[in-house]
Chains A and B, each alone.
Chain A
Amino acid sequence: GAVVSQHPSWVICKSGTSVKIECRSLDFQATTMFWYRQFPKQSLMLMATSNEGSKATYEQGVEKDKFLINHASLTLSTLTVTSAHPEDSSFYICSARAGTTHTEAFFGQGTRLTVV
């Protein structure tokens, strides 16, 4: 299957700093990328959907000024957690889809963010 690379795998940062997470589709063009957050023992929570070249669509309750998403090319999307707080500590996962219909989403490896 297609490969989606997410970087970094884990990061520890201090409160108040910003952290950028990258999501790259390595062997296909991702027209749509999704960013999820997952708390322990819970399912994936969709944060936002981004289409290349346009603004991301955020789910209700997700602060777009805090979680900045950029999808500048068909192979790269970034999520920046600004002014991170301990409650932002979570597992962040990106997924990418080549088409819009009936195609599976391929997941990155996930990023474990710990804010201290």
Chain B
Amino acid sequence: GQNIDQPTEMTATEGAIVQINCTYQTSGFNGLFWYQQHAGEAPTFLSYNVLDGLEEKGRFSSFLSRSKGYSYLLLKELQMKDSASYLCAVMDSNYQLIWGAGTKLIIKP
């Protein structure tokens, strides 16, 4: 079966760095997406990785290792507004998105 695993909840301090991990087992691979979702709102796109390595975009970076079925989202200089759920999603061989359950990130002052 297809499976996406990410931690349920993480806590970090404002100004710090946090890494949210995602491991996956899917039928084929056509890229991995990270989305941010604030409570009661729709997800917003953060990043897309299809090749191994690190993609940096401002305070957010995303890393992919296809051989390990592993990705992480790195958030630097955390701000209170970064408190949200972070969803990892993998596009399988049928170009369908398989979603993880999301990681709730709590930022403390």
Contacts and interface: CB of A to CB of B under 8 A. Distances in A.
Interface of A: 1, 6, 34, 41-44, 46, 49, 91, 93, 100-102, 104-110, 112
Given A43-B87, A43-B102, A44-B99, A104 B42 contact: no
B48 A104 contact: yes
19 contacts: A1-B45, A34-B97, A43-B99, A43-B100, A43-B101, A44-B43, A44-B99, A46-B96, A93-B43, A100-B95, A104-B33, A104-B45, A104-B48, A105-B97, A106-B45, A107-B42, A107-B43, A108-B42, A110-B40
B31 A109 contact: no
Interface residues of B, number: 21
Interface of B: 30-31, 33, 40-45, 48, 50, 87, 91, 95-97, 99-102, 104
B87 A44 contact: yes
Name A's interface SS. loop
A110 B42 contact: yes
A112 B42 CA distance: 11
Contact of B101 (A1, A6, A42, A46): A42
A43 B88 CA distance: 10
Contacts of B102: 42-43
Given A43-B101, A107-B44, A101 B87 contact: no
A93 B95 contact: no
Nearest to B8: A41
A100 to B, nearest CB: 5
